[in-house]
Amino acid sequence: MEKKTYTPIIPELTKNAITVLERRYLKRDKEGKVLETPVQMFRRVADTIAAADKKFHEKADSTLIAEEFYHMMTHLEFLPNSPTLMNAGRELGQLSACFVLPVGDSMEEIFDAVKFTALIHKSGGGTGFSFSRLRPANDVVLTTTGISSGPISFMRVFDVATETIKQGGTRRGANMGILRVDHPDIMNFIMCKADKKQLNNFNISVGLTEAFMKAVEKDENYDLINPRDRQVSGALNARKVFNRIITQAWENGEPGIVFLDRLNRDNPTPHVGIIESTNPCGEQPLLPYESCNLGSINLSKMVQDGKINWKRLSDVVHLAVHFLDNVVEVNNYPLPQIAEMTLGNRKIGLGVMGWADMLIRLRIPYNTEEAIELAHKVMGFINEQGHAASQALAKARGAFPNFKGSVYDKKGEPLIRNATVTTIAPTGTISIMANSSSGVEPLFAVSYVRQVMDNDILLEVHPYFEAIAKERGFYSTELMQRIAEHGTLHALTEIPEDIRSLFVTAHDISPDVHIRMQAAFQKHTDNAVSKTVNFTNGATIADVARVYELAYQLDCKGVTIYRDGSRDQQVLSVGKKQEAAVPTDVDKDQSTTKRERPKILKGWTYQMQTGCGPLYVTVNEDATGLFELFTTMGKAGGCAASQSEAIGRMVSLAWRSGLQARQVIKQLQGISCHSPSGFGENKIMSCADAVAKAIQAHVEANGGKVQHEKRAFRKGACPDCGGIVEHEGGCAVCRLCGYSECA
């Protein structure tokens, strides 16, 4: 390798990027004090990954390639997946982001998978599963002469295990659950997340087959197959099942769909195994016990003087493939089965971020034919150069061990180093670090506000828009605030039309364009493409159906949709619409005159276990009914105690002014915080949720019934910092602090 000299640089990191690094990536001591700078982190990663070269050439000077890696990362041209940045050169040493584990049809195999899941989540990875091998609910269990509880009941076991693993405070556990459309329990699976209190640590997708899709087109029935004996156990109308998937996705964004036959059509090692599942965000199909190492090129850095710098893009692709192949080599795998399968196939997933930013720098609107044509050209180039880089590595290091067929070319040289080379992943936190748009998604917003400590409001503006607005003379703080309020530019006529057309956001773009852009990248990608089709709240079920059908027609491998507000605001009513009056309520007193407190009141105290410790909720009544509420934290003082006291005062005022218990419960129940406690029906989402549950328990204990409402996890706001979150690849990501629902 030709020796190059680089001047040490300090990466141009934004405040948000530094926040993300300090909270999630940089080394800390036992007291939580940050021990390294971002520059030191990049040096740690570059040196660790470059050291793999010595495995293939004993006398190799790895400092040369380390400098190349360091330069590429510090210039924010390429970043690997989060576990590599977190763990390279550290004791844990687990560098993969995604895994797939098999779930067999026996109690031993199921709980082995649960154990393996815990180990993977502890190490910072996410897991995908197919539950299609499990016999359906109420099926015979020969060994016990009992009946099976079915796949969904066991999914809850995995969900509870994931909830328990905290991953050292750096990454949340995330799962993908897939069930084949011909499984007898498919209708229950489609509806399994309709209740927002269940399976919150899972994304779910239905595995569709070509036979099923043809039956949908012809409005025919299709067979359901019992995986226990592979016998037909019933039939369903394909179009009705497809419509149920679409309707439920319209309701809350899930399930997504995965075209299983297409995943296996492109399976490079069918002799090794069949692809049953993907990683949590759906872009990485993997064999059972396989892992993959991902990384993304920042396309916004590949533009120079208004043109794409193809030479630098080629150089970065070759470096990135070298980097990711080294990651496979130095990785500390959490299980020996995973090490064997991963080293046998050496799959890597090189993708992109900053696509929307590249288009802006080239002055090409996202929702144009020119943009879609450029997507073909750019990703085609990356895929071609990526395979050339893998072939070059194979000449020096050998083909991946599970390569089958003509392993050598006519010159006797091995053909390719990696079974797969390209993947388009969601780039949540690493795109924040790179200050780029995420993956191949359009911009989420041009301007938005965020609240920080002491209730200060900060205005965040896309840097390219700010620069153009100042250059063209229409920048003002007032205008930026209006943009943040509108969420889009198209109605703001004081902004020049060409700028409004250029800075389109996710909701400005038609669903057809979303899918056509995904299909353009998919055509040149070995694995799959993570892409979310964002709908406005007013989108119809027919709109969602059109997207799912178009994804099939354009040869996508899967699709995820999100209708704005469908998870943030949706309320599911539980119980009858007309409930009996609650004896302890103040139904008769609807005046706004506050009742005076008597000297003596009777009361009940309820202990609620929150994520911040035990919370004692005391409910007092007067002769009329509920009168006041007090809270005491098990650990006095602190934010939680003060917030709980404030809730108690406001609830007391509400009751003394005539509000009913159910009205208070409705407002407090389901509010979430960063530290929930418990599982299932006993899960406490926050101190506010604990108060609501205590009131409900009190009312029901005294003979009343509450027409209560179950609220969805409020994905409109980040549970860590309160900022807005973006939906991508079936996941919620905060671009302010780096919180990611799917790690």
Residues of the chain short of pLDDT 50, as ranges, are 1, 167-169, 406-408, 452-455, 569-592, 636, 707-715
CA distance 722 to 715: 10
Half-sphere exposure of 513 toward its Cβ, with a 13 Å CA cutoff?
21
φ and ψ at residue 127, rounded to 5 degrees: -130, 145
Domains and CATH numbers, the chain: 15-92+282-429 (3.20.70.20), 98-195+202-259 (no CATH), 431-569 (no CATH), 571-711 (no CATH)
Catalytic residue, candidates 276, 283, 290, 441: 283
Closest CA to 349 of 491, 182, 522, 525: 525
3-state SS string over 529-548? ECCEEEECCCCCHHHHHHHH
CA dihedral in degrees (415, 418, 419, 425; nearest 10)?
A: -140
CA distance 635 to 177: 39
Q: How far are the Cα atoms of 124, 182, 186, 194, 719 from residue 235, in angstroms, in the given order?
A: 41, 9, 11, 24, 43
CA distance 312 to 302: 7
Q: How far apart are the first and last CA of the chain?
A: 36
Environment class of 108 (CB within 10 Å of its CB; exposed 0-12, middle 13-18, buried 19+): exposed
Contacts of 301 (CB under 8 A, 6+ apart): 75, 76, 77, 354
Catalytic residue, candidates 281, 673, 687, 734: 281
Environment class of 681 (CB within 10 Å of its CB; exposed 0-12, middle 13-18, buried 19+): exposed
> 299: alpha, beta or left, given left = phi > 0 and alpha = psi -120 to 50?
alpha
The DSSP-derived string for 67-82 is HHHHHHHHTTSEEE-H
Amino acid residing at 382: I
Both tokens of 400, joined, read: 């991946």
Contact (Cβ atoms closer than 8 angstroms) between residue 535 and residue 563: yes
Chain position carrying tokens 């924010």: 76
H helices of 331-462, in order, are: 336-345, 355-361, 369-397, 428-434
Both tokens of 668, joined, read: 């407090």
pLDDT in tens, 35-72: 999 999 999 999 999 999 999 988 788 999 999 999 99
Q: How far are the Cα atoms of 40, 190, 732 from residue 510, in angstroms, in the given order?
A: 43, 26, 21
Catalytic residue, candidates 252, 279, 383, 534: 279
Q: What angle do CA 632, 634, 638 make, to 5 degrees?
A: 80
CA distance 503 to 461: 12
Chain position carrying tokens 């007291």: 31
CA distance 518 to 281: 14
Identify whether 283 is a catalytic site residue. Answer: yes
CA distance 478 to 214: 54
Contacts of 9 (CB under 8 A, 6+ apart): 74, 75
Both tokens of 510, joined, read: 């038609």
Both tokens of 63, joined, read: 């400092």
Q: In DSSP terms, which residues pair with 616 in a beta bridge?
A: 607, 632
Specify the pLDDT at position 169. 46
CA distance 89 to 91: 7
Amino acid residing at 99: F
CA distance 661 to 402: 64
CA distance 734 to 720: 9
Amino acid residing at 271: H
Sign of CA dihedral 394, 397, 402, 405: positive
Within 10 angstroms of residue 389's Cβ, the number of other Cβ atoms is: 24
Contact (Cβ atoms closer than 8 angstroms) between residue 299 and residue 355: yes
3-state SS string over 645-674? HHHHHHHHHHHHCCCCHHHHHHHHCCCCCC
Identify whether 639 is a catalytic site residue. Answer: no
Within 10 angstroms of residue 195's Cβ, the number of other Cβ atoms is: 12
pLDDT in tens, 346-359: 999 999 999 999 99
CA distance 686 to 670: 8
Q: How does DSSP classify residue 454? A: G
Identify whether 188 is a catalytic site residue. Answer: no
